[in-house]
Structure 1
Amino acid sequence: MTRHLAQRIAQALLVLLAAFTVAFVLLQALPGDAVLIKFLGSEMGLTADQIAELRVAYGADAPIWEQYLHTLGNFLRGDFGYSIRSGVPVSQLLTENLPSTLRLSLLALAAACAVAVLLALLSQVEGFGWVRAVARSMPSFFVAVPVFWLGIMLIQVFSFQLGLVSVIAPEPWEELILPVFTLAVPISAPLAQVLIRNIDAVFGEPFVAVARAKGARHQWVLWRHVVRNAMPPTLTMAGVLFGELLGGAVVTETVFGLGGLGGMTQQAVANQDVAVLQAIVVLSATAFVTISLAVDLVMPLLDPRLSRAVSAV
């Protein structure tokens, strides 16, 4: 187990290094110059020499390889640099904006898991064929709904037409209702699909046939044996999708005008604030590999067969 853990940590570090490198190369390949965009033609009245000094201060005039090593070394020390737009440390911006995005993402993940479990259970209801058919078709519909379109439609219907949820000066809890639902709907689709497929597969296992032969009811077998054995792959999928939630939260926060990484990313893109964008990419990759690593460590506890497989390796 220790050897497996060391391998997984090494793989996670390689993924983070690859994400950092790819993000650095792509951001450096962007047309234009962030320093010039910020200061050239501004009302500060800076001269060309002053702008050149700013480029030196931000390290924009150094060779690419030198910028890469310098930025990588700073990231390893926890120094993400300074925002060109605001002039404050990027770590300060992350500290101010990350908690709201994490709160939104975690609530959306919990809601998506609840919706997925509900659809999976409805797909196994006896005596109501139309309910099973609807439950099995809903994930395909959910996955096809664009996040930005869903958010706009929810605002139009529940806020402007029905007046149930306010989007203008809402209460702290109220402002999360529509964004959470917007994120949860598309994320619940793959979770429900995996869970329904796993439940169907487990129902075909011999131990389920034995339980039924002993006179066990369908619902008892479902809760006692089937759901428990069908959950581990779904939890793995949930961990993978959490990384996507952070990206989806950026779009959702922009649509609903929330604070967090959404507005921060939008402003950074508009101003080519490379330091902020680099930090957001690495932060998203870190969240993704951390959740994946945590799921890998928890899975053997839920399924002893995986623990024996890891020990054999």
Structure 2
Amino acid sequence: MTKANLAYLGRRLLQAVVVLWASYTLTFIILHLLPSDPMQTILQSRGQDDASAQEIAALAHQYGLDRPVLVQYAAMMLAALHGDLGVSYMQGESVSGLIASRLGMTLGVSLLAIALAVVVAFGLAFLAAYTRHPALRGLLGFVPNVTISVPIFWVGLLLMQVFSFSLGWLPAMGADGWETMVLPVVTMSIPPAALLGRMLMNGFDEALASPFITAARARGLGRGRLVLRHVVKNGSLPAFTVLGMIVGSTVTGAIVAETVFSRQGVGMLIQQSVQAQDIPVVQGCVLLAAAAFVVINLAVDMIYPVFDPRIIVRTAGKERS
């Protein structure tokens, strides 16, 4: 590995650490700025509204809520570095255990949503690059622009109304059987499909305008083979840069979809924990989402120079200047 490659890897690793720290810290700050009192929430969840001052003090000491905020932050950060995400205020269980019990349900739906989003996005972009009809091309380009701005909860409710209540084809709620996954998967796939589709269309348009495409046309290469051989390969590279955003939109989509369709996954856990100001659980879920975002972006950063080695040269040149 060259010195430039090592420097590039080091910069990306440092950025990954900063993103994890920033997401953890910002979440902690925001949760502590909320007007509600975590102690009050804990007491209400346990039916101890009439608890004595001694009982409240003992409970606050148990969760470390009687310490200064900076001390709480330092203790939680140090514990997280050792793999301890703390104990849920509301449920009294380890945060790691709670997330692990919900992760499988969310992960399965999220992976299917991402797969569906990729297929739809590539299909739209390929058809837009292949077609010679301006009206159809304009319509295909219009679809991502519209769908990316549609509220995901509205889409979920609309799908539920049509396919569950009106037609009765699919269950509206629950998590038993593959049928219950269809509507959440479709709902969660729309934002990433729109984002990826827009990026792919832009990349394909740039590839179609390149000189090597003109040369390929001059050699008599057919439209379909031209798009598959040259346009897709060269125009797909910029889309790799939005994979992290797709993970982010999938996490957001999971919160909304699981709330709409009453699925007890990580998304529902985040929504319930934010409402209850269950700080350790929210911190753990945010750290998990940030870690997924960082790992995928780091993988993209490592893979991208394989397809385009110029990026390392450009990055090194910018730093020297």
TM-score between the two structures when normalised by the length of structure 1: 0.94
Unaligned 5+ segments in structure 1 are none
The structure 1 segments of at least 4 consecutive aligned residues displaced by more than 4 Å after TM superposition are 168-171, 307-313
Relative distance call for 1:114 and 1:76 in structure 2 (3 A) is same
Measured in 2, the distance between the counterparts of 1:172 and 1:158 equals 16
In the alignment, structure 1 residue 190 sits paired with structure 2 residue 190: no
Q: What does the per-residue CA deviation read over 1:207-244, in whole Å, with 9 as the maximum and x for residues that have no partner? A: 11111111111211111111100111112213322122
- Alpha-carbon separation, structure 2, partners of 1:308 and 1:172: 51
State how far apart, in whole Å, the 1-side matches of 2:112 and 2:174 are.
21
Picking from 33, 37, 41, the partner of 1:33 is: 37
2:240 is the alignment partner of 1:231:
no
Partner SS, residue 129 of structure 2: coil
Q: CA deviation at 1:128?
A: 3.8
Match of 1:219 among 206, 224, 249: 224
Q: Does 1:24 align with 2:55?
A: no
CA deviation profile, 1:93-124 (whole Å, cap 9, x unmatched): 01111222122221111111111111111213
Matching of residues 164-203 of structure 1 within 5 Å: 164-168=169-173, 171-203=176-208
1:281 equivalent in structure 2: 286
Query: Residue 189 and residue 48 in structure 1: after superposition, are their counterparts in 2 closer, same or farther (change >3 A)?
Result: same
Deviation at 1:296, TM superposition (A): 0.7
Given that residues 125 and 131 in structure 1 are in contact (C-alpha distance below 8 angstroms), is that contact kept between their aligned partners in structure 2?
Answer: no
2:45·2:90 contact (CA, 8 Å) conserved in 1? no
1:4 corresponding residue in structure 2: 8
* CA apart distance, 1:55: 0.3
> What CA deviation, in whole Å up to 9, does each residue of 1:148-187 have, x standing for no partner?
0000000100111112212355642111111111111122
Residues 253-308 of structure 1: CA deviation (Å, up to 9, x unaligned):
11011111122122212321111111112222111111111111111223344466
Structure 1: how far apart are the matches of 2:204 and 2:83?
44
**Which of 93, 97, 110 in structure 1 is aligned with 2:115?**
110
Query: Pick from 124, 128, 138: which aligns with 1:123?
Result: 128
Q: Does 1:271 align with 2:276?
A: yes
Q: Aligned pair 1:147/2:152, yes or no?
A: yes
Counting aligned pairs with the same residue, the percent is 38
Residue type at the aligned position of 2:198: Q
Which residue type is aligned with residue 22 of structure 2? A
TM-score, length-scaled by structure 2: 0.91
- Aligned residue for 1:124, secondary structure, equals helix
Task: Determine the C-alpha separation between the residues in 1 that align with 2:175 and 2:249.
Answer: 27
After superposition, the Cα gap between the structure-2 partners of 1:170 and 1:47, relative to the gap in structure 1 and judged at 3 Å, is closer
Instruction: State the alpha-carbon separation in 1 of the partners of residues 45 and 109 from structure 2.
Output: 38
Instruction: Say yes or no: does 1:15 pair with 2:19.
Output: yes
Q: How many residues align?
A: 313
What code does the residue aligned with 1:24 have? F
Task: Determine if contact 1:301/1:307 at 8 Å carries over to the other structure.
Answer: no
Shift in alpha-carbon separation, 1:27–1:207, aligned structure 2, 3 A: same
Corresponding letter in the other structure for 1:164: W
Letter in 1 for 2:269: M
Residue 255 (structure 1) aligns with: 260
For 1:122 and 1:41, the matched residues in 2 are separated by: 54
Q: 5+ residue gaps in structure 2? A: none
Kindly state the Cα deviation for residue 42 of structure 1 after the two structures are TM-superposed.
5.4
Corresponding position: 1:243 with 2:248: yes
Does the residue aligned with 1:123 lie in a helix, a strand or coil? helix
Separation of aligned partners in 1, 2:284 and 2:86: 9
Q: Which amino acid aligns with 1:19?
A: S
Matched residues in 2 for 1:170 and 1:54: separation? Answer: 35
Amino acid of the residue matched to residue 163 of structure 1?
G
1:305 to 1:219, Cα distance in 2 relative to 1, 3 A: farther
Contact kept in structure 2, 1:236 and 1:295, CA below 8 Å: yes
CA–CA separation in structure 1 for the residues paired with 2:233 and 2:173: 43
**Structure 2 counterpart of 1:70, one-letter code:** A
1:296-311 maps to which residues of 2 (within 5 A)?
296-306=301-311, 309=314
